[in-house]
Structure 1
Amino acid sequence: MKNVVNQLKALGETNRFRICMMLLEKPLCVCELLSVLDIAGGTLSNHLKILRHAHLVDQRKEGKWVVCHIADEGAEKLIRFAASCMTDTEITDDDHDRICCSSRELCSVTKSPE
């Protein structure tokens, strides 16, 4: 029971819920999540740590990318259940549209010095 309570607490923050909703669509690298959420890298790192500790999200290294994905089938079921309770989907619909057009290759592009 404690595990489910911790998972629900982790999902109780807007950006963490958005991360999980995006990861239901497909595994995403950290830079893709950053581009959609428009938050600082340290903030995203903290959110991912909380989601990992709650056993909702896991990460793996793929070449130069750190790819995040839903941890397991139980986590997926819980997230889908939480999503089914939503009445306002405008933000998650927008996130969905943005990740459908994302590409990890864009993460490799470095900004020119100003």
Structure 2
Amino acid sequence: MCRALGDPARLRMLTTMATRGQVCVCDLVSASDLSGPTVSYHLKVLREAGLVNCQRRGTWVYYWLVPTAVDQLAQCLAAVSARSAR
């Protein structure tokens, strides 16, 4: 998961999904300076990391955050933060 979050573009995509909920790939392309294939690649990385899930609706694919993965990530970051505060 942490590797998937290592790219600023992927972090922006996750932030967009956290803010808007389900997001169409077309919205992610128009909101960034990345090409469609590049956005698709980043979404594939996020999906393989288990952070997002998707569903095809007609010609569009919609993505959203996986709540359990976000909770797991939050717990991991909290543990790291607690360790660094010591």
Task: Give the distance between the partners of 1:15 and 1:33, measured in 2 at CA.
Answer: 10
For the structure 1 residues 10 and 75, does the alpha-carbon distance in structure 2 shift closer, same or farther, using more than 3 Å as the test?
Answer: same
1:62 maps to 57
- Given candidates 28, 36, 56, the residue that maps to 2:23 is 28
Query: What are the Cα deviations for residues 41-63 of structure 1, in whole angstroms up to 9, with x where unaligned?
Result: 11111101100100001110123
1:86 maps to none
1:91 maps to none
- The alignment status of 1:51 with 2:9, answered yes or no, reads no
- Following TM superposition, by how much is the alpha carbon of 1:64 offset from its aligned partner in structure 2, in angstroms? 3.0
Instruction: Give the CA RMSD over aligned residues.
Output: 2.3
TM-score computed with the length of structure 2 as normaliser: 0.76
- Residue 20 of structure 1 aligns with an amino acid whose one-letter code is L
Unaligned runs of at least 5 residues, structure 2:
77-86
- Following TM superposition, by how much is the alpha carbon of 1:79 offset from its aligned partner in structure 2, in angstroms? 5.8
- Following TM superposition, by how much is the alpha carbon of 1:39 offset from its aligned partner in structure 2, in angstroms? 0.5
8 Å contact 1:59–1:66 — kept in the other structure?
yes
Query: What are the Cα deviations for residues 65-106 of structure 1, in whole angstroms up to 9, with x where unaligned?
Result: 210111x22222256679xxxxxxxxxxxxxxxxxxxxxxxx
- Residue 34 of structure 1 aligns with an amino acid whose one-letter code is V
- Residue 56 of structure 2 aligns with an amino acid whose one-letter code is K
Question: Which aligned segments of 4 or more residues in structure 1 are displaced greater than 3 angstroms?
Answer: 78-82
8 Å contact 1:23–1:68 — kept in the other structure?
yes
TM-score computed with the length of structure 1 as normaliser: 0.59
How many residues get paired?
A: 77
- Following TM superposition, by how much is the alpha carbon of 1:27 offset from its aligned partner in structure 2, in angstroms? 0.8
